Amino acid sequence: MQRRATGVIAAVSALGLTAVLAGCSGTGSPDVTLRLVAADYGDSAANSSQKYWDRLAKDYQAKHPDVRVEVSVYPWTDVDRKVKEMVDAGDPPDMAQIGAYADYAARGLLYKVDDLLSIPVQADFLGQLSEAGQVQHVQYGIPFAASTRVLFYNKTLFDKAHLTPPTTWAQLAFDAEALKAEGVTYPYALPLGPEEAQAETMAWMLSGGSGYTDDLGTYTINSPQNAETFTWLKDELVGKGLTGPVPPAKLNRADAFAAFARGEVGMLNGHPTLVQLAEKKGVKFGTVPVPGRNGTPKSTMGVTDWMMAFKKHGHKEQIGDFLDFVYSEKNVLDFSRTYDLLPVTTSASDAMSSAEQDKKLWPFLEELPLARLYPVGKTSWAQVSADVKKRIGQAVGPGGDPTGILNQLQVAASEADSGAAG
């Protein structure tokens, strides 16, 4: 049976100041008002996510006048905190599009995806992304946008040093040595600073054949492979002065990307956003799969942001109907193309992989089937990620002890996991 459809909008600026637009297209007041809190993927007012939600909600409203959707858009630095404050105050939004869902799911606050979305929409999600949205084999998190990592390299600097892009760690170290000899500021940029160290860490763990967890979901931060990986980074890159003037523990991802866009970086791991940034600055670059210890690793890193729906105020039918519209192929493609991100559905991914206009995203799309995500289904992950951001840079610094740091992180992760389970 088809759900009643609904729709309208209240748009919000990236500063979070709600500005309710004109009401319904029909007569009288809407039957239901839904509140959505969403993250801003834009880098300026000109491309704020407010504009995306404005367009989407207006299209929805044209056919569904019985529901008002009030959208509040906040920067990534604020959005998770805003939702937490609303939840703690006992007044959660009906929907939230943020970075993590597991804690809310574990507390019984979210609708199951099965209770919201139509079967065709559920079936369209990429399998590994749907699985990552599960807590104890029940899906609560709805993937919203995805990205993968590839190795970016500066073609101008590589041509000057007569280099080819690396496929192994040994080749990466060789290239970095040659770039250093040419005076390149950051032969390889290694951002293990507090902004997003958990991402660079995971990329290197996977390239070394391990990860944060094993196939059963048990933390393996101090695995022998991870210890070997960070020992190699310390000895072969950082210790030889191949990672630039800023210590990795203090180098943030945004600063590394900005340096690449200035032409100061030979190589770094990057996601699709760096494509647009580098193109704007006129940097000639290429991309290849992230090198592994002995070649292309079996798994690469993927990241997904999440949509979720809170049960507090009801409106299950209206929420599900609106989300079915959000996840139509047209709307998923529109969002992905606007912000240089990867679609989370099979239909939109197939369309993007065959569209010439999306060619710059093809290397990232090719990595998605092999991507492993953060262990976001574990309620302990937020604490583990925070610990990694604080400590992992110490592992590769002067006098650092990679095995010791990884052991400390493992103990803390196991304790956090036990506490969450309890």
Where do the domains of the chain lie? Answer: 10-147+303-372, 150-289+380-421
Q: What percent of the chain has pLDDT over 70?
A: 92
For residues 361, 362, 365 and 367, what is the CA-based torsion angle, rounded to 10 degrees?
A: -110
Q: What is the pLDDT of residue 29?
A: 64
3-state percent breakdown (helix, strand, coil) of the chain, nearest 5: 45, 20, 35
Q: Do 10-147+303-372 and 150-289+380-421 show the same overall fold?
A: yes
Please state the pTM of the whole predicted model.
Answer: 0.84
Eight-state DSSP code of residue 310 = B
Stretch 112-136: mean pLDDT: 94
pLDDT of residue 24: 37
Of the options 2.40.50.140, 3.40.50.300, 3.40.190.10, 3.30.70.100, the CATH number for the domain spanning 10-147+303-372: 3.40.190.10
Which pLDDT band holds residue 421 (cuts at 50, 70, 90)? low
Dump pLDDT digits (tens) for 207-259: 999 999 998 889 999 999 999 999 999 999 999 999 999 999 999 999 999 99
Q: How far is CA 273 from CA 107, 231, 355, 383, in A?
A: 34, 30, 19, 26
pLDDT band at 316 (very low <50, low <70, confident <90, very high): very high
Collapsed DSSP state (helix, strand, coil) of residue 21: coil
Q: Which architecture does CATH list for 150-289+380-421?
A: 3-Layer(aba) Sandwich (3.40)
| pLDDT tens string 259-307 | 999 999 999 999 998 998 999 999 999 999 999 999 888 888 999 999 9
Query: Is residue 379's pLDDT more than 80?
Result: yes
| Closest-CA residue to 36 (of 76, 66, 90, 72) | 72
